[in-house]
Structure 1
Amino acid sequence: MLRCLRRWWPSGGWAGLRLLERRHLFTMKLQSPEFQSLFTEGLKSLTELFKKENHELRIAGGAVRDLLNGVKPQDVDFATPATPEQMKGLLQAAGVRMVNNKGEKHGTITARLHNENFEITTLRIDVVTDGRHAEVEFTTDWQKDAERRDLTINSMFLGFDGTLYDYFNGYEDLKNKKVRFVGHAKKRIQEDYLRILRYFRFYGRIVDTVGDHDPETLAAIAENARGLAGVSGERIWVELKKILVGNHVNHLIHLLYDLGVAPYVGLPASASLEEFDRVSQHVEGLSPRPMTLLASLFRAQDDVSKLDLRLKISKEEKNLGLFIVKYRRDLVEAPDGAEPLKPYQDFLIDCREPDAAARVAELLKYQGRPALLRELQRWSVPPFPVSGHDLRRAGVSSGKEIGALLQQLRDQWKRSGYRMEKEELLSFVRKT
């Protein structure tokens, strides 16, 4: 039965809709500023090359989803029935440079035109999958290629005349803010277990209502959670970070534990979910880094180290996690009568590490202290006005004594609120 769609979209980007049904295919015309902005000189040249050789070329996957949401995509992938050899032939004949040939075995050719790179992938089907990788076979069937993709909202194609090709009701799911797997959730997940985390990631981007899950999907996730144990930590960390900065993060992290996913993605078994609930409310609207929020699950610094062993996080991310776990309770209270920001300022005065200010800012987000965060961001670390050379000129010759005196003067300077100047500080040395 032909479905009717209103000429309406929240972004105001739809115009000239055309709808038909063929092999469960729904198409419509998209005309929006975001779509038109893609037509650079490089893209125009690319489409002309493929058209000249009678090879169809379409925008694929996530870029289509973003355009339908009224967002200009940061990355645009392209799909074509042309084989890699056919693509190389037409590009070489036109004198177009090709770069990054690592993707060729999977059917991806990267062409460079007008200082832009364009990744074009031959339509394909998965022949053999093991939950991590797939052996593919090329096809000329657009629907077969759409069928191998993870979610309906990521399975659409867009022609350069604005025609949307939607084989699995991805448009309807996007409009209704639903996240569904293409076909059977269990089958899609077993093809690549990372799709479990991709489901949660897109839930946080697309869905408005917390808890709006298909029970069969949740059952398939719980049944196959163990499969994530064989997925590389680097791939898991990419998805987990995106979940942590998305919407409904509190709901989704609890769901990872409820469905038995957490142990296989490096999250601590004895997580402090109460602390996570508290912190996830504190950081709302403060744009915390993923590790800032994740640290609330850790009871001790050892949990950060275990996470690093599983996910191979960066040194910067690991150090931030260790810092927050260590100082989230200690670096809080100011001395009686002191300004609330004073402990944080003193820490930055004493710390010599270049990223200390960024870590303290994340700690203030963690603690839910936005006013102090704003104050810290307006404050610059003042230079300590006394040096070892100044003490030598004042008659102190022992290196050990110079070190001790510098620390004493630094403490005196900190107690003054960083207002004491060099001569005033050196006067204490002269008196002694």
Structure 2
Amino acid sequence: MRALPGPEGIDLAPWAARHAFPSPGEVDDELARIAATHPRCRLERLGLSRGGRPVTMLIVPGGPRHVVVVGGPHPNEPAGHLTVLALARLLTRGDNLTSGIGCTWHLVGCIDPDGAALNPWTGMPLDLTAYHRHFYRPPLAAQPEWTFPAPGFSRPLPETTILHELLTAVRPEVYVDLHNADFGGAFFVVNRPHPALSGALRDAAARHRIPLGHEGIDTIGWAKDGPAVHVMPPVGELVITPPGADGPSHGASSLHHLPPGAIGVMPEVPLWPARTLPAPSTGPGTPGYPELMRRTAALLHERCHLLEELLDRALPHLPGDAAVFTDAAADTLKAAASCAELWRTMAAGPVTRDQYAAAADGAACLPLRAAGMLLRATATVPVPLNSRPAFTGAERTVPTEAFESWDKDLRATAPAPYPLHAVVGLQTATALTAAAIGP
């Protein structure tokens, strides 16, 4: 395999200087500039989002093998916006990574521009408080990544249809969906085992000095293709209709809809290193990882219960346009409650340190995400008037106090973020490695 650029070879100007990420509009502008200055490249508008925003793709020709790379699969995961630009700059620097390996590249800047527009913190220097206070991640049924056709689910979003049609038309041999996580080490999700690729991805993480994370909140119990590489389960194991529901709350993933024989990979690259967490000691009467897991599940359940009560109290007084945040907060709390129950069950058996660390991160971050979105919803209500005495200060002060307390706890255990050159470098290396190795 050809030598790949290291972190020092990644061009992130001007965003690295302020440790921030570009907006979808800035990504589109830069892709347009690259297309205008490189005649062999072509810029395509694939369609419009639900809110009327363009979904744009840069094509860098180079051979009969096709690679599709997608940024922004979740709107709170903007690292891929910058990675798409870094890739575009690398691929137009010379032919080594295009015709040199026989690949034509299709780079989608952001697949959910509407959601990304609701995360204003991406343009600020990366900061935990700003991240959670201005947080937005839509419910599962409103995520392009999880609304592909599946048994019992046929409600694809316009953005999902755009991506589905692109995959059908291009039939890529390699597909890379650029995700980022919050804390810990890097891990990867693949659509099928591929030992050569999995080993190369672990090597790439080492080159970019990001340790491997062996468990993710969403991947506990999934099959693995070696350390830190998880295999996406069949759609039937993930899309489940709850009792009494009309259908499942989400559809399939993009990894379930690739052409036969294609390789798909989701790099989950963290923005912050692992937090400082308590470890069990060996003395008698001290808690082991199962007990720490049980306490973590109880803490998450307690915080979710508080937020659910606050949300129920606030809903009657919120305007209709607050639903974008309240629906997302309710979905986050539902997911958090499921995690708490899973972790409570796991605590009855052996628990590894990595499993406990994933649970501890979830218990710290999921309530902050929901609290941030609840605060954004209540901010849409004007100062109470005599005609609206029911909306009291408690609906504002209690979630604010909870947010500030939980944020303080999280910051006490959180390190400084990874350098952007490492985060984007590893995502870039994932795409280049997968293209070079192929299916």
Which TM bucket (shorter chain)? under 0.3
TM-score, length basis structure 1: 0.25
TM-score, length basis structure 2: 0.24
Largest Rg, 1 or 2:
1
Structure with greater contact order relative to length (CA < 8 Å, sep ≥ 6): 2
